[in-house]
Structures are given as C-alpha cells and as structure tokens.
Amino acid sequence: MTCQEAQEHMMGALDGHMPDTERLRFQDHLQLCRECAQTWLALQQVDAVLRAAPMATPPANFARRASRAALETGQRQHRIVGPLLLGVGGLLVSLLFVFSALLSGGSMVAVLTLLLFGQLPGMTEALIEGMWLLLRMVWVAVDVWRTAFWGPLFWPVVALVAFSAAIWLAMTYITLRRSWAAATVR
C-alpha cells in the first residue's frame, strides 16, 4: 500500500466503512511508515476530541422568543396582502372610472351588446354588429383622447391618474417598510 492509498483509507477507517482485507494492509503500512502513522494518530485524536464536544445550548427562553418572532412576521406577511390587494383594486377602479368617463354613452352600449351576443338567435349578425360597434367604440375613444388632449378635460384626467398611482405607491411602500422593519428588529 502506498502512502496516498493509506491517506485515502484513513477516512474510511475513521467512519467505519473499511473492508477487513484493506484494514490489514492499512495496518501493515502504518507499521512501516512513520509519517502515515503520525497522521493516523493525529486524526484519531481529532476524532476523539470532536466526538466528545458538547452541543451548545441556547438561553432558556430562546425557543419561545424564536417561535413568537416567526409567527409574528408570518402574520405581518398576511397583513401585507390585504392592503396590497386594496391598492391594486383601487388603481384598477380609478382607471376604469377614467376610461368609462372618456368613452361615450354609445360605446358602452356596444360593450353590453357583445356580452349579450351568445343568447341572441341571429348570432352571426350580432357578432358582426358587435365587432362593428367595438371598432366604433375604439375610434370614439381615440377621438375623445384626441379632443381631450386639446380640450379642458385632459389635465383633470392626467391629474386623476397621477393621484391614484401616487396613493397606490405610497400604500405599497408603507406596508413593505413595516414588514422589513419587523424582519430585522428583534
């Protein structure tokens, strides 16, 4: 057995998976080779010291504190979801409001017609009618945007969108900051 082989066998010998045939050859090598015998002794000493090392125990109330901290941050996470949904919902509602304000009454009728088309007897006609109305609706919307851009409606609309976006961002920021603080402060 070479020194390198002997070194490789030391792991197996310490951790209890070394075949008996190898063990004899290993021991023969240790008899002959002073250097490997010294390494083997040192490894056995390390093994004995580390096996005897105790588990370090945390302070007595640690488990209680740790579980409370985990449960509290978990609950905070649940608390984020509510405001976040509220924020997103608010944004969507305000956008819907803005767009429906922009759309003329005629194009809202088109949307309602499309919703009804499955129940009508003349389906194809209804579909064509609906598509046509939808196209008209888009055109009307573009037209309203165009006139609004030049007209007095433009700036109130932009202000409304900016306002709702700002509220949404602020709410998101506040809730996230609170949960970060909870995660870092013990």
Residue 134 neighbours by CB under 8 Å, 6+ apart: 110, 111, 114
- Shortest separation between residue 19's beta carbon and Zn ion, angstroms: 19
Measured over the CA atoms of residue 122, residue 125, residue 128 and residue 130, the dihedral's sign is: negative
Query: What CA dihedral angle connects 107, 112, 118 and 124, to 10 degrees?
Result: -20
Decide which of Zn ion, other proteins, none touches 36; Cβ closer than 5 to 8 Å per partner kind. Zn ion
- Residue 124, both tokens: 């194809």
Measured over the CA atoms of residue 44, residue 10, residue 5 and residue 18, the dihedral's sign is: positive
Of 107, 115, 95, 103, nearest to 158 (Cα)?
A: 95
* Interface pick for Zn ion out of 10, 36, 133, 144 (rule CB under 5 A): 36
- Shortest separation between residue 63's beta carbon and other proteins, angstroms: 4
Q: Is 183 in the site for Zn ion (CB under 5 A)?
A: no
- Are 144 and 102 in contact by the 8 Å Cβ rule? The answer is yes
Catalog residues that contact other proteins under the rule CB under 8 A: 10-11, 14-16, 39, 42-59, 62-67, 69-71, 73-74, 77, 183, 186
Closer residue to other proteins in complex, CB, 131/183: 183
Closer residue to Zn ion in complex, CB, 6/110: 6
Q: Is 84 in the site for Zn ion (CB under 5 A)?
A: no
**CB neighbourhood size of 40 (10 A):** 21
Q: Is 33 in the site for Zn ion (CB under 5 A)?
A: yes
- Residue 141, both tokens: 């919307």
- Shortest separation between residue 124's beta carbon and other proteins, angstroms: 49
Closer residue to Zn ion in complex, CB, 7/104: 7
- Shortest separation between residue 173's beta carbon and other proteins, angstroms: 21
Decide which of Zn ion, other proteins, none touches 71; Cβ closer than 5 to 8 Å per partner kind. other proteins
- Shortest separation between residue 5's beta carbon and Zn ion, angstroms: 9
- Are 13 and 26 in contact by the 8 Å Cβ rule? The answer is yes
Site for Zn ion, rule CB under 5 A: 3, 6, 33, 36
